[in-house]
Structure 1
Amino acid sequence: MEYIESPPSPVFSGFIKRFWSLEYDPAGKNAESETVLPDGCPEIVFNLSDRFLKLHRDGNEVQAATLFSGQLSRNITIQPTGRVQLFGVRFQPAGFVPFGVSMGDMTDQIVDLRLVLGQAGGELEEMVNSASGFTDRIRIFENHFRSRLADQGKEDPLTSAAAEMITQSGGAIPLSALRGRLGVSERRLERHFKGAVGISPKMLARISRFQAVVRTIQRSESVGLLDAALSFGYFDQSHMIREFREFSGETPRGYFDHTHKISDIFTSVVD
Structure 2
Amino acid sequence: MQALAQRARIARGESGESRWEVATRPPAPRLRPYIRDYSGYTEETPGPLRRVEFPMPQIVVIIELGPPVRVFDAGSDRRHSLYPGGFVAGIDDTFTVTEHDGFQRGLQVNLTPIGARLFFGVPMAELTGRVLSARDLLPRKYARLAERLEELPTWDERFDLIERALGERVDEARHELGVVPWALRRIEELGGAVDMRALARELGYSQKHVIGLFRENVGVPPKLLARLVRFDRLIKHLKAGASGTWAELAQRFGYYDQAHLARDVKQFTGTTPTKARATLIDLAGMSP
- The residue that corresponds to 1:10 in the other structure is 29
> Quick check: 99-108 or 207-216, which moved more?
207-216
Of the candidates 244, 260, 275, which is equivalent to residue 254 of structure 1? 275
- The residue that corresponds to 2:205 in the other structure is 184
In structure 2, distance between residues paired with 1:211 and 1:265 = 18
Amino acid across the alignment from 1:5: T
Amino acid across the alignment from 1:97: R
- The residue that corresponds to 2:92 in the other structure is 72
The answer to whether the 8 A contact 1:217-1:223 is kept is no
Paired residues in the alignment total: 265
In structure 2, distance between residues paired with 1:260 and 1:222 = 12
- The residue that corresponds to 2:57 in the other structure is 40
- The residue that corresponds to 2:161 in the other structure is 140
SS at match of 1:176: helix
TM-score by length of 1: 0.87
Gaps of 5+ in 2: 1-19
In structure 2, distance between residues paired with 1:91 and 1:168 = 18
| Alpha-carbon RMSD | 2.5
Q: How does 1:111-130 map to 2 (within 5 A)?
A: 111-117=132-138, 119-130=140-151
SS at match of 1:257: helix
> Quick check: 128-137 or 217-226, which moved more?
217-226
- The residue that corresponds to 1:240 in the other structure is 261
Give the 3 Å change call, closer, same or farther, for CA 118–4 of structure 1 in structure 2: closer
- The alpha carbon displacement at 1:248 in A equals 0.2
1:53 is aligned to 2:70? yes
> Quick check: 107-116 or 58-67, which moved more?
58-67
In structure 2, distance between residues paired with 1:102 and 1:260 = 35
Of the candidates 121, 126, 150, which is equivalent to residue 100 of structure 1? 121
Give the 3 Å change call, closer, same or farther, for CA 11–120 of structure 1 in structure 2: same
The answer to whether the 8 A contact 1:36-1:77 is kept is yes
In structure 1, distance between residues paired with 2:175 and 2:252 = 38
Amino acid across the alignment from 1:158: V
SS at match of 1:45: strand
TM-score by length of 2: 0.82
Amino acid across the alignment from 1:64: P
Give the 3 Å change call, closer, same or farther, for CA 184–95 of structure 1 in structure 2: farther
The answer to whether the 8 A contact 1:97-1:155 is kept is no
In structure 1, distance between residues paired with 2:279 and 2:30 = 39
- The residue that corresponds to 1:216 in the other structure is 237
In structure 2, distance between residues paired with 1:63 and 1:219 = 31
Give the 3 Å change call, closer, same or farther, for CA 219–44 of structure 1 in structure 2: closer
> Quick check: 48-57 or 201-210, which moved more?
48-57
> Quick check: 220-229 or 192-201, which moved more?
220-229
- The residue that corresponds to 1:131 in the other structure is 152
Give the 3 Å change call, closer, same or farther, for CA 51–126 of structure 1 in structure 2: same
Give the 3 Å change call, closer, same or farther, for CA 18–246 of structure 1 in structure 2: same
In structure 2, distance between residues paired with 1:258 and 1:228 = 17
Q: Deviations over 1:207-259 (max 9, x none)?
A: 11112222333444641111112222222222211111100000111222345
Percent identical pairs in the alignment equals: 22
In structure 1, distance between residues paired with 2:165 and 2:236 = 33
The answer to whether the 8 A contact 1:97-1:156 is kept is no
Amino acid across the alignment from 1:21: G
Of the candidates 182, 192, 195, which is equivalent to residue 174 of structure 1? 195
- The alpha carbon displacement at 1:94 in A equals 2.1
The answer to whether the 8 A contact 1:104-1:198 is kept is yes
SS at match of 2:264: helix
Give the 3 Å change call, closer, same or farther, for CA 222–71 of structure 1 in structure 2: closer
